[in-house]
Amino acid sequence: MGSAYDKGKAYELHIAKLVRKKADKGSMRNRGSHTASTHDADVFTNLPIHIEAKHHENVRIKDWMEQAEAASSFHQTAVVAFRIDDKDYAALNFEDLLNLFVQIAQMQAEIDDLRAPVEHVVMKPAKAAEIVRHEAVALSQKAISKKKTTSTVKFDKNGHIVDDFGYCMQKGCKYNRNYRPPKVKK
């Protein structure tokens, strides 16, 4: 293979290592990402992002973003990781970035609510029982509606997420649908 291939491979390994170090222990370089028939991400991860790693001298973000958006699934955010002057950068759709910050702000508000001190109010036992009953009914209705809309996540013996048929979604796992054990040298 050529030096361009080796440079791209090294950068994909670098990005996979960063993702593994910061966010997802199971991330790895996708060896089949550059085959002619597939449009897989350069870095496989369990995070809801599609990563295209680019290590070129000329930055062509528009072309790279179109490639990443075309190859990403509907539930993934297309991200292009690239290097300029020995610094790693990422490009993504601005609306996706805003959605990420909205989620962070909502989680921070929820954490602040949970950390707030609880006020103790003295009330009559009958009124307290009525409030507890009302809250229990509201929680049960919320749980019932949540059950209808969300599916349960199942895991395999290695702790990886499995699909509806029980096959592991992690590439390289022996419970994956396409797993082939390494050939034994004779």
Per-residue pLDDT of the chain (186 residues; tens, 9 = 90+): 568 777 778 888 888 888 888 887 877 787 765 555 555 777 878 888 888 888 888 889 999 998 888 888 888 888 999 988 888 899 999 988 898 899 899 999 999 988 888 777 666 777 767 777 788 778 877 777 766 555 677 887 877 888 878 888 887 788 888 888 888 887
* Chain centroid, CA 106 distance in Å: 18
CA atoms within 13 A on the CB side of 163: 9
Residue 50's nearest CA partner among 66, 21, 73, 25 is: 73
Query: Which residues is 79 bridged to in the sheet?
Result: 51, 92
Query: Which residues is 78 bridged to in the sheet?
Result: 50
Query: Which residues is 176 bridged to in the sheet?
Result: 168
Q: What whole-number distance in Å separates Cα of residue 154 and Cα of residue 74?
A: 21
Query: Which residues is 128 bridged to in the sheet?
Result: none
Domains along the chain with CATH numbers: 3-94 (3.40.1350)
